[in-house]
Amino acid sequence: MNPRLPIALATALPRWSVAVLLMSAPLVGHADTQCSELLNRPFSDTTLTRTEEVAAGAFIAPAEWRDMLKPWLSGLPAFCRVVGVIRPTTDSQIEFELWLPQTWNRRYLQVGNMGFAGGIAYTGLIQGLQNGFAVASTNDGHFGPETGWMQGHPQSLIDFGYRAVHFTSVVARQITGSYYGGSIPYSYFSGCSEGGREGLVEAQRYPEDFSGWLVGSPSNDWVRLMVFQLSKVQLASALKEPLTAAQLDNLTTATIESCDAADGVEDGVIEQPLRCTFDPQKLQCKGAPDGRCLSPQQVQLVRRIYAPVKSASGATLLPGLQGTRGVEASSWEFPRITGANTASPVTLYDQAVLGFWPKWVYGKDEFNYKNQDLADARAKGEARDGSLLDATRSDLSMIRASGKKIIQYHGWADSAVPAQHSIVYYETVEKTLGRPNGDFYRLFLAPSMMHCWAGPGPNIFGAAYAPGGLFDREHHALAALTEWVEKGLAPDRIVATKYQNDDPTKAAIRTRPLCPYPQIARWSGTGSTEDARNFVCSASQ
């Protein structure tokens, strides 16, 4: 979860051209009215502040996004851009954008946000528009990555928690129907991180809003996740011997050498990291430090990073980062949990911890995070904000009964939201409903993929906010979702691709199927191990 969305995306996403996206859905809808006429039409609790016809390739992004989006915009088709604000209460200001393509695939798509929201997700709008969707995004009721906006504004916290996404879906679909002069056959939601939480919030609270949900790396167990990130900030702040890049590289290499071959293929990717039992003590210095071995304190640090988070009394509170085994060098440096300067909010975890706990829970600017008891933080956080922010309701029977579908994905190398969060929720739903989820809800875990995208493993498969790759049910998760909802074709695998520099305009290095949990990808024994066609999805052993 990165509260500074534009900065995070600018540094994490490759700048490929979205022109490589291919549209396979039938494009049969066309505008029934002029874009400018929408300004004169009433919509629920809504003021439209701007409508404009945007010619193909002519969109000018807001200043803070301009440099990042410039390489992508030349491939945009013509569309009607609608900007508005929704005010369900006098203390609400839910801003949104809706892009309506001249040639429409008769589907509505809403894209989620990241971190603490506070902006429009333009990469998601681009991804949707290029594939023919009418597509909308909301700022969740505030602008900017800071967290002080909720102080003295309880309605704004409700907007962020669940209301902004719901009201945007209601209003944006009204505008879409008015523009095209008819009903919307199918509506979809796609989001990762905070957007993944928003997707599950919608499925749990407002199952009537969408036909299907694409949910990535969801921060749905919000308060417990904030406890997890608080624990890592405490760990880093107490560290006297930060792990160096050379030590992290050595740890990664040793872990892969120990556990990589367990799936039958030695390819630098650990398919089942939770089964890897490599002990970092094997890297402890035997004599004088050589720059790569670990001190005893560093060995204990690595063990604590892998291990579940425990309270002062020893009770298990949260999963650890065992899922990142084999990608420590890249995954752990993302939030800088191995020796960051936590004196100011400069790291991924710092931004969350120093924004959430003092302002949202304890109601004060001063917050001694170094000595904060984790169990107390969890109890107070859940009491104050859990009902608004957590999306952990496990009764999804209405989704199943109505024929709607959910595809969820999570990268094993995710150090922002551990992949076990998705597994726990998925299995809790099965337990609540009393039978396997596979007829309406499937979870796909991506080995060596980081938070929402990127990482050493294959990671291009139609994930939210990451334009690129083929738009078909085999290679694109959103396309797979539409085929499942509209044609009943359940996704038995989704092929992820590793491109050179994670850029789909460059050569593909490796393809690998992502399998419905708890299945894993296994090599058939013949053919190249870099080709997904030579792998099968089978039960984990």
DSSP for 491-531?
-S-EEEEEEGGG-TTS-EEEEEEE-BTT-EEEE-SSS-TT-
User: What's phi and psi for 30, nearest 5 deg?
Assistant: -140, 155
Report the pLDDT value the prediction gives residue 8, as an integer from 0 to 100: 37
Domains held by the chain: number? 2
Closest C-alpha among 306, 332, 276 to residue 456: 332
SS3 call for 269: coil
Report the pLDDT value the prediction gives residue 318, as an integer from 0 to 100: 85
* Cβ neighbours of residue 288 closer than 8 Å, sequence gap 6 or more: none
Closest C-alpha among 106, 138, 132, 121 to residue 211: 106
C-alpha to C-alpha distances, 462 to 122, 357, 443, 476, nearest whole angstrom: 16, 34, 15, 4
Report the pLDDT value the prediction gives residue 468, as an integer from 0 to 100: 62
Rg of the chain, C-alpha, whole Å: 23
Decide if 503 is inside a domain: no
50 bridge partner residues: 83
| Shared-domain flag, residues 275 and 356 | yes
SS3 call for 104: strand
Report the pLDDT value the prediction gives residue 364, as an integer from 0 to 100: 78
Report the pLDDT value the prediction gives residue 62, as an integer from 0 to 100: 86
**Contact indicator for 466, 454 with CB cutoff of 8 Å:** no
Could you say which of 184, 203, 238 is where a domain stops?
A: 184
| Shared-domain flag, residues 117 and 235 | no
**Contact indicator for 305, 294 with CB cutoff of 8 Å:** no
Distance of alpha carbon 116 from alpha carbon 160, whole angstroms: 8
Report the pLDDT value the prediction gives residue 99, as an integer from 0 to 100: 98
Task: Domain of residue 237: give its range.
Answer: 224-388
Report the pLDDT value the prediction gives residue 335, as an integer from 0 to 100: 67
The two structure tokens encoding residue 426: 């998925």
| Shared-domain flag, residues 151 and 281 | no
Average pLDDT per consecutive 10 residues, the chain (541 residues; last block may be shorter): 36 35 45 86 94 94 81 87 97 96 96 92 93 96 79 89 98 97 95 97 98 97 92 83 91 96 90 95 95 94 91 84 93 70 56 82 82 91 94 98 98 94 97 98 96 91 80 95 98 96 87 97 94 93 63
Pairing of strands 508-514, 494-499: antiparallel
The one-letter amino acid at 530: E
Decide if 316 is inside a domain: yes
Decide if 286 is inside a domain: yes
Q: What does pTM read for this prediction?
A: 0.92
| Shared-domain flag, residues 362 and 255 | yes
Decide if 320 is inside a domain: yes
| Shared-domain flag, residues 271 and 134 | no
Cis omega (within 30 of 0) for bond into 154? no
| Shared-domain flag, residues 145 and 266 | no
The one-letter amino acid at 118: G
| Shared-domain flag, residues 87 and 146 | yes
Decide if 89 is inside a domain: yes
| Shared-domain flag, residues 57 and 142 | yes
Distance of alpha carbon 1 from alpha carbon 352, whole angstroms: 8
Decide if 410 is inside a domain: no
**Contact indicator for 138, 93 with CB cutoff of 8 Å:** no
User: 């209601």: which residue's tokens?
Assistant: 170
Pairing of strands 212-216, 405-411: parallel
Report the pLDDT value the prediction gives residue 91, as an integer from 0 to 100: 92
Distance of alpha carbon 81 from alpha carbon 54, whole angstroms: 7
DSSP letter assigned to residue 284: B
Could you say which of 362, 388, 414 is where a domain stops?
A: 388
**Contact indicator for 529, 523 with CB cutoff of 8 Å:** yes
Decide if 203 is inside a domain: no
| Shared-domain flag, residues 178 and 228 | no
Report the pLDDT value the prediction gives residue 317, as an integer from 0 to 100: 82
Closest C-alpha among 75, 93, 83 to residue 36: 83
| Shared-domain flag, residues 378 and 229 | yes
* Cβ neighbours of residue 73 closer than 8 Å, sequence gap 6 or more: 57, 59, 61, 126
Could you say which of 331, 357, 388 is where a domain stops?
A: 388
Task: Tell me the catalytic residues.
Answer: 193, 414, 451
User: 């139609």: which residue's tokens?
Assistant: 462
| Shared-domain flag, residues 243 and 309 | yes
Report the pLDDT value the prediction gives residue 22, as an integer from 0 to 100: 31
| Shared-domain flag, residues 177 and 231 | no
Report the pLDDT value the prediction gives residue 486, as an integer from 0 to 100: 98
Decide if 436 is inside a domain: no
Length in residues, the chain: 541
